[in-house]
Structure 1
Amino acid sequence: NTWYHLEFKNIDFVAKTYDIWLDGTLVRAGHAFRSQSSTNISTMFLYNFSGSGTAYYDDINVGGVSLNLSTMPTDVLCAGDSTGTATVNSSGGTPPYTYAWSSGATNQLATGLMPGGYAVTVTDSLGCVGSDSATVGSPPAILSSSASIDARCNGDSTGSIDLTVSGGVAPYTFSWSNGSTMEDQMNLPVGTYAVSIIDSNGCTSSDTALIAEPTALTLTAVVTSLACFGDSSGSIDVTPTGGTPGYNYTWNNAATTQDLTNLVGGTYTIFVADSNGCSTGDIYTILEPTQLISSGVTTPDNGTNNGAIDLTTIGGTMPYTFSWSNGATTEDISGLVGGNYTVTITDSNGCIWTNMFTVSLIIGLDQGLSAPRLEVVPNPTSGTVRVTVALPATGKVQFSLNDLRGRQIFAAEQQANDLQIEQEIDLSNLPAGVYLLQVESEGQRSWTRIVRQ
């Protein structure tokens, strides 16, 4: 499809013919010269044509006007979009040209191209065809990765995000959901953070990062208060939850253990720190019951077993139980003979209080002021008593000790040369009970009770 245009000058064109050989092959024979001129042709010169019948020949290098193409692609702005273009520039051939791109475009400039290779065919006005291709490139996609560090303690702002960006066309700008425009983020509380990344071509990408936090560090405790006043049976059993395990304990009594035992009553403060240094504390109170004590009002025995003890108990932890030395189990006791009585009081925690009360024995005398006056000590007793007798006059003094049935247990007689005498009586071998001592001097009698414990 290559056309060759030849122009010959200074030739007698009458009755002249010419042959055209191309690379040794006859391509045109006996062709008559015609005098004409044309534009856009190559001009060749043949010399020394003269005379009819004489052949003149020479080798002529004939070159056509070739169709030359060059392409210029423009890469897409962002990975995956269709903003690429390709331009084909044509020269040679015979304008005007028509264009056919593999993308379907029919213009010199093909637009809306995605990354890839595109072929173009250019045809000139004489039907000559040229072809070329162009490759539309793309920057790499914007890639991002984030490494987040969670908040150390519940409720604080110690989280951080380290963002790494590649691809696209640097430099980048950043827009975070918390308003920051920095690439990396610091001092963050718990939450989800979104970032929009824009490169220098205006291409965008997004990423998210989560800042977590430990659950709140809290303490629960089982507190055991004192059972009895003044003891050290208290304890505190502490259980930490939340935070980051690996706890350290500091008590206001200098202890560093998790739990405390053998505590006296009082207030105890604990501080707990987890492995991240997050801390919390609490205050616990070991309660102490008031002291278990008792007091009593005694009613003396006048010799008719009518003594009594009215007991009052306070403190400790109610209810109480009572155990008297005479076997009674009530709080108050009555119908008592003169003597000492011991009570043991036990509260509901097992705390014990012991007290002793003395019921006095009042002796009534049926004689006048001239009767002997008696003093017996100790009374009550479990051994020997000393009887001191104050006499109105000297003379014989008789002693008689009887049980309550009237049986005589002991008898003695002294000659009093003074107005006061003493007599010892051993009761150690006698059963416990009440005995009646009678002292007689010069016809005058006195009586008193002696209690054998």
Structure 2
Amino acid sequence: MKSLTPTLFTVALIVLSFHSYSQPASSKTLDLNGSSQYVNCGTVNLSGSQVTLQGWINVQAFKPPTAPSPTANITSFIGIEQPSVGQCQIRIGDGNIPNDRVQFVLYSGSAPYKVHSATALTTNKWYHLAATYDGSTMKIYINGILDTTRVVSIPIVANSIFELGRSYDNTRILNGDLDEISAFNTALSESTIREWMCKRITPNHPNYAQLAGYWPLDEGSGNTTADASGNGNNGTLFASPTWKNSGAPIGDKSKYVYSNSFDFGIGSPSGDSIHFTSTSGNIDGAHIYRIDSIPYVTAQPTGVIEFDSTTQWGIFDIGSASYDARYYYNGNPMATGNDCNLSFSERNNAGSASWSGLNPDTVNFANQFIGFSSSGRKEVGLSITNNGSLAPNFTATQPTCNGGQDGSISVSISGGVAPFTYLWSTGGSSNQITGLDSGIYFVTVSDNFGCTAVDSIVLDDPNPINVVPIVTPATCLISNDASATLFFPGGGSGNYSFLWDDPANSTTISASNLTPGVYHVTITNQQGCQQIETVTVGSAGPDPMPELGESGFYCSNTTITLDPGNAGGPYTAYSWSNGSSSPTLEFNGSGTTSVTVTNALGCVGSDTITLTSVTPDFVQLGPANQVGVTSLTLNAGSGYVSYYWNNTQTTQSITVTNAGLYWVEVEDDNGCISRDSVNVTFAPSGVSEIESGLVKVFPNPTSDILNISIDKSISVSGIELKTLDGRLIGTYTQNVSVLDLSKFENGIYLLDVKLTNGNNEIYRIAKN
């Protein structure tokens, strides 16, 4: 695949220059269906001693050899056929001749006189047919060449309905196209036929005065066609024949050569011209012609930036000719300053549906011509393209393997002026680049004249080896009864070699005795290309998947129950690392524990967990029994993540005023939970001296000195002095006997004597 890249222009735009002609010379044509469509031109008088009938025909299908008459293999072309009234016509085929031979028929008033061609026509090809009678000889011309004659001296009786594509009845209607039909009341000479067969009839025709009827068929639409002779023999179209662009080689000016070679040209009023020289072939002659009007089809191929729509040049070869053509562009204003970008657009004829690009293979900027070599019918017009006459022609070797880098491209140049320089998108500067992978590659070619062309070619990546692994899974994850084989949807598995990375290093299309896992097989084709295919082997299962949870810490004051779950189960057997076979395990201490389970299929699975026991940071609220007077503050201590008291408070400490059981639950940094509780009671309030049998305080009230007497039968751990709201303001040893209260303000205080047996003696002290 090639693509063009603009170098001098950024917009591909077709610029059409319109000439002053109002009717395109390439004209229209009528396409008849062979059964009901034709043209009736009314009565035309061709009686007399001389006549000429001529026109262009393209037969799409000849009439089959059907008997009996009147079908008689006949395809009608033009003329008059009214039995016993008049006859002057050209038709193809007859009852006693092949259905592809041209026949000329005249009626003398008593009998028809016929002559037919030696040359056979072929379908889907345009021919110019002419038949003349000069009073002594009937002649048939095919493409301007005299084909056959018949000497006869008769009067012509033909003053009746003149029809195009029909005679006698509808069974003989033409299946094909016709164009440029004319009839003369004289016998045209061979040179006149040749001179005018590739151009339209004008008053300059030497026999214009003898023109009985002329139907150019240029309307392109409608149900009538004009008689351009001025005789008023306008044609009526029956059954709506199809109007379409004509493929007949008709121009505004033409030249001809009838020889086994040709070397001639034709110019234009602007000064540009084209010259054709035959090089080989079975040649009988050729016509060249110039069309000075806008073509019906103007759309141009990709890469054409401007097209000279005012002039097209054509060649109609008679026989089969190969030739060289040179177009001298001096005088064409479109060519000025565009030498490097001059090229051609081509078509077979004006009936073609589109134009194609035609790169010149010869350039001579000094003499201002570009040329091409070709053969057969052709019409060309000057165009301006991105690359002009420079035509890179690629020869490519695609990469051998998918993803390979052994592709190569070489380029040769037609057109342009040697020597050439090259610059590839890879940086290469010769006419060949190698070591290529797939992708698009551009080359910029410059010739000795300084003209530049850019073209590209795509190297295609060969298809990868198309393989589909087919896996038979293992029974369990630990089983080695799996297998894998390779399937090639496109066939051809026998054309590959294999190497697996399984334990056996298998070299066949299949590998067996596989355990679940990922395997790779290297596939090599006949070209030595390798592809590594990944094959994943699983288990049919279900395989047990015990889950003991995540390893980590647990609190020593909790119990851990390890449960492997039931994924891939149900499980039929359990084996713990401590020897237990129960479904669950009560765990304590620190360490690693594992379990192996077995399901009903005999498949096993294991899991392991490592747990570390941590001791909680236990909370302590103090003595289990605590006495307050009007309130008591309980403090759980700092450093915990969270606190929760049974009175719903969440602070580190709480102050209570009611007796009862109070507890707090705390969480430490390890997430461990601990709880402590106290029983709170409140002593009655008063300022009188409180004495028990074991501890005495006096005097009470006191102004500064307070005496303490402790019975020797009890043991005291410490003495605290507090405010009524429980705030500690003094701490004393167990042996103290005198307290100096002079530094404290007057008021009520609580003396808390803490006994070693866990009990407290609380005294209300008044300081005056």
TM-score over 0.5 for the pair: no
Select the structure of larger CA radius of gyration: 1
TM-score (norm 1): 0.32
Higher relative contact order (CA 8 A, sep 6+): 2
